[in-house]
Every structure is written in C-alpha cells, then in structure tokens.
Amino acid sequence: MQGSAVLVTGAARRIGAAIARELHRAGARVALHCRSSRADAERLAAELNGARAGSAVVVEADLLDLDALPRLVEDAVRAFGRLDGLVNNASSFHATPFGSIDPEQWKDLTGSNLRAPLFLAQAAAPHLARARGAIVNIIDIHAERPLKDYAVYSIAKSGLAGLTRALALELGPHVRVNGVAPGAILWPDSGEHFDAGEKSRIVEQTPLGRIGDPADVAGAVKYLLFDAPFVTGQILAVDGGRSLHL
C-alpha cells in the first residue's frame, strides 16, 4: 500500500473517517471527500498529515451534482498523481414510510447511495485500470433484507449491491470491485426509529451479542482493497452474524 492513493467519500466523520485512518495507517495516501463537514475533514487531514506529511488532502463535492463527480475524481488524481482505490462510503440514511415517499427523498437516497457510486466509478475507472486498483462499495445488510419504513434506502442499497457485481464484470480483469455490508456499527446521529428498545432488540438478534466498531468495517475495506487480489464481485457482511436472523 505504500505510495498508493485512495479516494474515500464521506470521509470526514464516523465510518468514513475510520476507513481513511486505517488505510493511512497501512501506508496509503487518502483523498478525504466531504460535502458539508469541511471542518471535520480538515481536522482529519491535519491529523494524518501530522503523522506523514503530504499524505492527505480534502476534496469537496455534492454527490447529487452529476457534473461534480468527474471533477472530484480529477481532484484526487491531481493531488497524488494516481488513483489506486475508490471507497464509495458516503450515504444518506433516513426513514421514508410508505405512503408518504416524495421525489426529493427518492432523489437524495438513490442519488447518494447508488447514482453517485456508479458515476464516480465510471470517472475513476481509467485511473484505477492503470494502477490495477480496486473499488469497495459500502452497502448494508438491509440491501438483502429491507428495513421497515426505510424502503427507499433499502432499494438504493440493493441497487448498490447489484452495481458492485455488475462493475466487477465490466471492469475486470484490471479493476476489482467488491462491497462491505455492515450491520449495526454506529447508531444513527438521529434517534429516529432506533429507540432504546429497538437497539436492545438488534443487539439480542446479533449472535456476537454486541454492535460492531467502525474499525471492523475499515479492516474489511483494507482487505478488499489491498489484500484480496483474487476476490471480485463479492459482498462481505460485517454484522456480527445478525443477517442470519433477519
């Protein structure tokens, strides 16, 4: 991984920041994408550059703006002169109870979770092919088993799972494409849907008896990016076994 360059979307906070730190710790240079969390992204970049000068840069774009996506890739390539990996981590997540779904919710959830990963992959593909690189998409165990009241989110993540497999065919043999499907890792910032009772139910439903840690997802991403040269088109569940009971 030494000298490699990876673009991580939604890298300013939470799981995205953990992924960026893990890849950086292993020797990669990271382009930290943000939209509205510029201050958090700048703090993370300062931390990483403090550990290794010139190893992190902040790149900003609204992933719902199609015209911004090729520019985002080019900004990352310009920063480091190459692109070895793309991690499509950024995601909108909010409830859309059936009967009240509106076009803006559809645009937001499918735009961030499905459309942006497709067009970022398309823009990044020539650079990744030159580097014999890889893409990792952060999916969700609810791509396979929908979450009640989150129909649009579940649909979008299901599409991302399909996109992962399709891109593995489209971009092979030079670019590998895989996915990580987290279970309960961090509770949402909003208390919506996940009250104390629901949290307890999810933990009880998980064979390992706890929620995960962002480091669990970050380690899986690092493996699929750099340590799995004969793995493509696969989706790795990082969920403590919860999907066995869904």
Q: What is the pLDDT of residue 191?
A: 59
Q: What is the pLDDT of residue 41?
A: 97
pLDDT in tens, the chain (246 residues): 788 999 999 999 999 999 999 999 999 999 999 998 999 999 999 999 999 999 999 999 999 999 999 999 999 999 999 999 999 999 999 999 999 999 999 999 999 999 999 999 999 999 999 999 999 999 999 999 999 999 999 999 999 999 999 999 999 999 999 999 999 998 877 656 678 888 899 999 899 999 999 999 999 999 999 999 999 999 999 999 999 987
Domains of the chain listed by start with CATH number: 5-244 (3.40.50.720)
Q: What is the pLDDT of residue 192?
A: 66
- Give 189: exposed, middle or buried? Use CB within 10 Å, 0-12, 13-18, 19+: exposed
Q: What is the pLDDT of residue 189?
A: 73
Q: What is the pLDDT of residue 93?
A: 92
Q: Is 150 a catalytic residue?
A: no
Both tokens of 150, joined, read 């989150």
Q: What is the pLDDT of residue 194?
A: 77
Contacts 24+ apart (CB under 8 A), 154-157: 155/109, 155/110, 156/109, 156/110, 156/112, 156/113, 156/114, 157/113, 157/114
CA–CA gap between residue 56 and residue 198 (Å, rounded) = 38
Q: What is the pLDDT of residue 32?
A: 98
Task: Select which of 80, 93, 153, 226 is catalytic.
Answer: 153
Q: What is the pLDDT of residue 235?
A: 98
Contact predicate 32/43, CB 8 Å: no
